[in-house]
Structure formats: C-alpha cells, structure tokens
Structure 1
Amino acid sequence: MNVLIIEDEALSANRLENLIHKYDPTIRVLGKLSSVRESVQWLRNADNAHPGLRPGPRPDLIFMDLHLEDDLAFKIIDQLQLTIPIIFTTAYSEYTLKAFKANSIDYLLKPIDKEELGAAIDKFVSLHIKTAVPALPDFAALMAMYQPAAEEGYKDRFLASAGPKLFSIRTTDIAYFTIEQKATFLKTYDGQHLAMDYSLDKLIQLLDPKEFFRINRSLIISLNSIRSIYTLSAGRLKLELFPPASQEVFVSGDRVADFKHWLGK
C-alpha cells in the first residue's frame, strides 16, 4: 500500500510516519507535504506524465491535516476533484468532528493514538480496497459544516510531556507557550514546564485570540499571565509575566500596535 502524508507540522508528520510503519512495515510513505500548493502540484505530477518527467506512483490513501500552512486542506480536494480515499487528522474539538461523522469520513484526533491509527487503516482496507469505486462524501457540504465549527473549535486542552510522562493540560491553566532550542514548551500557572509537538504557528490557529496573543517569534502569552507592562524608549514594551519567564520579555516592535488593541478589546 502507498500512502501520502499531508501535514504542516514536521514533528507530527514524522510521528505519523513512524506509527504507520509500526502498524505495517510494508506500507510505503510516498512523501510528506506541508501546503495546499505543494500537495496539488505533487498529486498532479503523480497523475500526469510531463516531457522528461516520469510521474510518481499514485497513493492508495492520504493522511491529511485540516489546517495547512497556506490554506484549508479541503482546497486540495476542490482543485483536483480528488477521488483518493482520505483519513483526516485534526487537533480540533469533538464539536468540529461532528461534520466528519455526518459525511462518513474517517478522522484521527491529534495526538494520534497507535490503536486508533490501526483501526482507521483497517477500516480503509475494508471499505475501499475491496470495492472497485470508493464512495466519497459531499465535500462542499462538509466545508460548509466545517467553517462555523472551526471558528468556535478552539482547543480546551493540550497533550504535553516531560520525559516519558504525558500530561493533559487545560488551556485555562496555561500561562504561555515558548520556543526553546527549536522545541515548543508550555508553562502552566503552577509552574509546570512541558514539551509539545506543536509549533507556535499552529498553536496560534488553535487558541482563542481573545485569550492568547503572540508577542514575538518565540512567545505566545495568555492575557491572565501579564503582571506588569513597561513602556521603554521608542515605544517598545517590556512585560513581566507570571510565572516569571527565564529571560526578559519584550513585544516585537511590529506587534506593539496590535498588542495594545488586543489589550483594549
């Protein structure tokens, strides 16, 4: 079986590939793509021969994240009129997933569980490999159902880790998210410092913008974490957070105006 992974989080894509190979080492992962544009081009090349270019193999199954770095993944299906079976992956709440159930689409909720992955692949084999033509859902209806759900589907908890130990952390308990040595961590109000698989770019899509703001390239803060704000020269802002950060915290110059607007909402 050939599969394609469309996922804009490198850590999540690599973890999914490892889980697939643990489930069945004979499954071939043809590629890991991160955007709508890249995925559309890749799939077109797989279907059509070009002068001097041999088309690649066509995947039997696609694992597709909902939110990609440049747009919603549904745009891939819409542009290509895609008929390849899909298992969606999502970090959104159960409310959002009602749309998938209504359209008989398989999905995996992040972080992906090994047993749930195996069950989803087994379902694919049962429903699609044994039938000549796969039954596809009404993606236009799915898109219409998904859009309002996405607006309200902010994450209310995250899975994080410290060594081999896993923790389910409520979003309301998180003071801020940081990047440290190219890895993402969250800090809770009671002082827990835990690792995560998400990038800050992905996190800002999953967090309620009324409660969280990205003040610079390496820090997303909760409104409730702010203890003091100081105005420096040239309009720069310095923050004191709770719990205290490991180094001084500044709002990027290009985000000061938006940050002040956020504070005044």
Structure 2
Amino acid sequence: MKVVIIEDEPLSAKRLEGMLKKYDSNIEILAELPSVSSAVAWFKEHGDPDLALMDIHLEDGQSFKIFETINLQVPVIFTTAYDEYTIRAFKVNSIDYLMKPLNYEELSAALDKFKRLHVDGTDEREPALEQLLQALQPKEPEYKTRFLISIGSRLKTIDTADVQYFYSADKVTFLVTTDNQRFPVDFSLDKLQAMLDPKSFFRINRQMMVRLEAIEQIHVYSKGRLKLELQPAHKEEVFVSMDKVVEFKEWLGK
C-alpha cells in the first residue's frame, strides 16, 4: 500500500507514520506534505497513491482546496481536531473521518475499511448515515479536557484545567502548567483556539494564549497598550496586541 500523509504538524505526521507502520510494516510512505500548495504540486507530478491521510486544516488553508484545484480520485482518511466538516469530507472520496488526537484502534478500523472497499473489492461503501445525521444536529461544543505529552520515552496526560497558558517559539507550541512545567504540544495556537473553551482562554497575540486565572496584574500604558503579569511568570514581557485590546477587555468583563 502506497500512502501520502498531508499534515502540517510535524509531530502528528511522525506519530501517524508510526501507527501506519504498526498496522502494516509494508506500507510505503511516499511523501509527508504540510500544505495545500505542496500537495497539489506533488499530485500533479506523481499522480494518485493508493491512499491519502489528510488533516483538514493545513498551514495555507483547508485540504478541501486540493480537490477544488485538481481532479483527485485518491481515497482519503481525514484527520482533524474539528468536527464540523463531516458532511463535506464524505463528499470528496472520504473513507473515514478521525478526530485528533488519533487513536490507533480507530485508524486501524479505517484502514480495514479502506482494504474492504478498494483492495478486497467488496462493495460496502456506506455513507455512515447515522454519523451524518448526528453531524447535522446542533450540539454543545466539546472542548479539549486534557493533553497527551511526550517526555522522552514516556507519555503523560495533563488536564486542561492545569494549563495556565500556551505560547509558540521557533515554530513549536508549548503549554505551561500551574506548577511552571513546560511541555511541547502537537497543536498550533490557531488550532488550540478552536479546541479550548473561549470563556477560559484568550489569544492575546500571535504567540500566546492565556487562561483567565493566569493573569495576576494588568498594566495600562499610553495609547491603550496592555501589559500582563502572568503566574507562572513568562520568560519574556507579555503584551496584548493592539488589535486585540477591545476584545480582550470584553472577555475580561464576561
């Protein structure tokens, strides 16, 4: 089986590659692509593989744009941290739709389904009617309650309630806990915005998202600039970007 991985988070791509090899060591990973543009260029040059695994949110837009740009017939397993794209995913060659963080058992079941449909030749193609109907029903958003963290060869979970803020540095996102432990996470700040409860967390600038309880003091400077003191303290000065000040004040008053 020849597979292409389209994923803009390097750690997620490597973890997905490991799960694919666990499922079948003979799977050949042809490419790992981080963007719509790189995927379009690759498919134009190489054609369709046996299967593609696509994150929906890529660094330059949604992966659905790939299908809008080129005539792509490859079967797809979508992976995403969001659940509002189920219907659209099933309209573009979707085998399955898996929520992050990925679970090996669910990925294995999706690969089994792909083999039944496209390798063994049995016509079991199903629109997952119950799943599609559920997706159409309005429902309360489910926000992320914990994060899986890698520490060397060990894994541990950290409750979202224990996270004080997130920040990005050198293209890596870190979380900081109440006891000042810092760990890298697999999600960009853009993706975390959709995964976390907006009542508790606010994106104050391009590099940082903070929990309300982490804010110890707010200093007002000239021209309305706001400087925050956080607990635990951040290694650099923390400012609310000017375009976020009004929204930030509204958030504080909710």
TM-score normalised to structure 2 length: 0.76
Aligned to 1:122: 112
Offset of 1:238 from its aligned partner? 1.0
Offset of 1:130 from its aligned partner? 1.2
Q: Unpaired segments of 5 or more residues in structure 2?
A: none
Offset of 1:2 from its aligned partner? 1.7
Aligned to 2:79: 89
- Match of 1:4, as an amino acid? V
- Match of 1:128, as an amino acid? H
The reply on whether 1:177 has 2:166 as its aligned counterpart is yes
The reply on whether 1:60 has 2:60 as its aligned counterpart is no
- Match of 2:12, as an amino acid? S
In structure 2, how many angstroms separate the alpha carbons of the residues matched to 1:71 and 1:143?
26
User: Which of the residues 183, 189, 200 maps onto 1:211?
Assistant: 200
Q: Deviations over 1:15-44 (max 9, x none)?
A: 32343245434323233333445545654x
In structure 1, how many angstroms separate the alpha carbons of the residues matched to 2:98 and 2:232?
34
Q: Deviations over 1:99-138 (max 9, x none)?
A: 68xx795344433344554443233223321117783638
SS at match of 1:259: helix
Offset of 1:160 from its aligned partner? 2.0
Q: Over aligned residue pairs, what C-alpha RMSD do you find?
A: 3.7
Aligned to 1:9: 9
Aligned to 2:220: 231
Where do 1:1-265 residues align within 5 Å? 1-36=1-36, 38-40=38-40, 42-43=42-43, 45=44, 55-74=45-64, 76-77=66-67, 83-92=73-82, 96=83, 105-114=95-104, 116-131=106-121, 135=125, 137=127, 142=132, 145=135, 152-265=141-254
In structure 1, how many angstroms separate the alpha carbons of the residues matched to 2:114 and 2:167?
38
In structure 2, relative to structure 1, the CA distance for the partners of 1:4 and 1:191 (3 Å cut) is same
TM-score normalised to structure 1 length: 0.74
- Match of 2:111, as an amino acid? I
CA contact (8 A) 2:75 2:95 kept: no
Q: How many correspondences in the alignment?
A: 248
Q: Deviations over 1:128-170 (max 9, x none)?
A: 211177836389x959937956x82432322123333322223
In structure 2, how many angstroms separate the alpha carbons of the residues matched to 1:42 and 1:161?
31
In structure 2, relative to structure 1, the CA distance for the partners of 1:182 and 1:81 (3 Å cut) is closer
